[in-house]
Structure 1
């Protein structure tokens, strides 16, 4: 039988007009918070090729994020990414509230959930289950997760997609692109269309649960027998394009290790395992799970294993791109500036004809970013200010408007994974010997 506990939630806007209306109201809250003078300042900074800096009150930011959280889907997903950069785009007070987007997605109401279950499983769907808890144990931008037990005794987690999310991705991205252009969020001269198209493709992959099931199996095959990690098995008989059925896995979100109940040795080990996995994904598996959300990792204290969840953002990486990153890493570690420059050109970070001073600045940035790879012994992420240094230097370069080329949009999601792994290590205040594991993954250094 099902658990009839009431799950209070708000209905997910599921057609284009209703989603446009909600985004319009969110934009209205944003414009009201910025004010007339703020809009004039945005126009001025946009015309000057500088990043817009939005000053919002906590109240207007709360309204804006509540609107995005209510919409879920691509709008909320992009808002979550924006919140990662909130320390620069928003005031500190607003940035703190924006960060709540990572955790505040509301569940859909029971009436909407029931319609999804009946649409995917048919009438009498509940007869397949001994128990299905209608109150979700997790809710994110694209779907929510429910604990269930089948009549034959299988303990499952059902990831159930919000209705209309898949169909609204294209219109959501188009509406967000219009909003970004209107507010001058992109620097002058930068064509963001290829990056939005890559985001569009990525979101379509994330919204196809049958494809995610295939990605889970492919990742498990490539990872092989690794006692430090657990990937839940997919239950195909209960998996549809909008419901992913998998083993239920015990554990706590990985960032809980930052709390007082866990020892520094546990934090160091967990960060080391995930850092090594990040490098293996690129250089060995050639298959990268590109979503760095902390909730995608659970820590099982009893077994010491890390549970890997959410493979919707999994991407294969071409051998050519892997080799370019391998050359960049080797050259950065060896402080070979000619090699770094060649790798930068190959990756599209700089063009052959870009001004020398800007190419040098890009190489300086990459040498700075490689600091943990070159640091002998354990690098202390808890005390490092590297993220702030790289972020602000990179922002200034990005908005300089002098570069003649742009990297392959595919690299955007690889950068997202690298940054997420760094931020998790910092969140855990971990010490990681990244230099040794990097050498193991990229192979022997050039003589």
Structure 2
């Protein structure tokens, strides 16, 4: 999440027709940016096995981004995923502009915000607060956040859901699936159905503030009194179906450390704390916060503590999958290719009858990904080109249709979490001792 003090606001389109119109306008912007020649080339390439790359000029990418940011909800969420490092779907300039979707959405205008507060808190709601900042401190795909102080002295963050977002998820996902098919973003033969279905279910979970409140409370209990981490407490008396009230968390969004001039020790500390937390989530908690947006973490340099935000994407992991990932980690560390193959079959990466050449390619890719696990001492992500090697090799295999089937739907958002951890370490140019962290969970001695 990011600061929105000077950002313009537009009403969130809440009706199905209004959202369809905005998505149509976004598609029109995309088509206009590509041009007739580009569309012809896109169609020609789409008839092949590889998806076409869209070279969208900067001004059109900006308009396209603005449309998605104005819609919020599922459309913006998928745009965020499109803009993550390494997608190679858009040109470099367009990808940079689309990256703004990871920083935040347009906030609601005051009139629409007032309507939400009146509906949720009732007439005279202002009497409960000593002060409320009407300018949001952050806005994302599902809602925006306001800082407030209650009459009894509590300093809170109020997460207020955009109107109509919950009701629009199914139609947005259906419309996006149609666009993906029309523009042939994925190789022929890849079934996107499970991906869109899992995205639909995840978005419904993210807009269910009652479920998020339960996840926030459960997660806080699991973190306990860890002095390095801060999980905001829920305030049920000011929480509703569409407003989540919690402690205000201090610190700067971690994504600002990526471009800012922060000491290496702080970057190493943040990456180490969050990597260790990721392993604890999977192996200890069985509850994983699966949204890889770096702005969901705040770092307080004075205390050295990381604050954890946004539990709408918290995902329960069944013990079976925990054991499969443990098995895969053990096999990757010992470089046991047969055990790795069995774990890959469980996760849906491979099938029992997969071509031996494809099996070897997949195992080689996973062994490459496990380089930090087998490295002795802290792994220097800033000095390594591992991400590029893994990404481009994986992309080539995927586009060559070596692996058409999607992984198990229940693990899709865990993959997103792991990729987010990897990207965070890389972006922060951090040194992290992944091997030492993982050894206890794999039942192995420290390297």
Deviation, structure 1 residue 43? 2.7
Alpha-carbon displacement from aligned partner over 1:146-182 (angstroms, at most 9, x marks no partner) = 0001111111000001110000011110110000000
Cα separation, partners in 2 of 1:65 and 1:421, compared to 1, 3 Å: same
Q: When the two structures are superposed, what TM-score results if normalisation uses the length of structure 1?
A: 0.95
Q: Which runs of 5+ in 1 are unaligned?
A: none
Alpha-carbon displacement from aligned partner over 1:258-297 (angstroms, at most 9, x marks no partner) = 4665321121111111101111111121110001111111
User: In the alignment, is residue 343 of structure 1 matched against residue 343 of structure 2?
Assistant: yes
Kept in 2, the 8 Å contact 1:55–1:90? The answer is: yes
1:372 maps to what in 2? 372
SS in structure 1 at match of 2:160: strand
Alpha-carbon displacement from aligned partner over 1:196-219 (angstroms, at most 9, x marks no partner) = 010001001111112111001111
Cα separation, partners in 2 of 1:226 and 1:138, compared to 1, 3 Å: same
1:271 maps to what in 2? 271
SS in structure 1 at match of 2:225: coil
2:133 maps to what in 1? 133
- Mean alpha-carbon deviation: is it higher for 110-119 or for 277-286? 277-286
1:233 maps to what in 2? 233
Deviation, structure 1 residue 365? 0.8
Kept in 2, the 8 Å contact 1:7–1:109? The answer is: no
CA–CA distance in structure 2, aligned partners of residues 62 and 113 of structure 1: 26
Aligned residues: 441
Kept in 1, the 8 Å contact 2:220–2:232? The answer is: no
Deviation, structure 1 residue 186? 1.8
CA–CA distance in structure 2, aligned partners of residues 411 and 52 of structure 1: 27
- Mean alpha-carbon deviation: is it higher for 47-56 or for 235-244? 47-56
Cα separation, partners in 2 of 1:113 and 1:434, compared to 1, 3 Å: same
SS in structure 2 at match of 1:444: coil
Deviation, structure 1 residue 301? 1.9
1:121 maps to what in 2? 121
CA–CA distance in structure 2, aligned partners of residues 409 and 79 of structure 1: 20
Deviation, structure 1 residue 85? 4.6
Alpha-carbon displacement from aligned partner over 1:342-391 (angstroms, at most 9, x marks no partner) = 11111110111111111111111111111111111111111222112211
CA–CA distance in structure 1, aligned partners of residues 431 and 232 of structure 2: 28
CA–CA distance in structure 1, aligned partners of residues 280 and 30 of structure 2: 41
Kept in 2, the 8 Å contact 1:326–1:442? The answer is: yes
2:424 maps to what in 1? 424
2:175 maps to what in 1? 175
Q: Which runs of 5+ in 2 are unaligned?
A: none
2:32 maps to what in 1? 32
User: In the alignment, is residue 251 of structure 1 matched against residue 251 of structure 2?
Assistant: yes
1:325 maps to what in 2? 325
SS in structure 2 at match of 1:53: coil
1:49 maps to what in 2? 49
Q: When the two structures are superposed, what TM-score results if normalisation uses the length of structure 2?
A: 0.95
Cα separation, partners in 2 of 1:375 and 1:100, compared to 1, 3 Å: same
CA–CA distance in structure 2, aligned partners of residues 88 and 260 of structure 1: 25
CA–CA distance in structure 2, aligned partners of residues 260 and 46 of structure 1: 40
- Mean alpha-carbon deviation: is it higher for 39-48 or for 26-35? 39-48
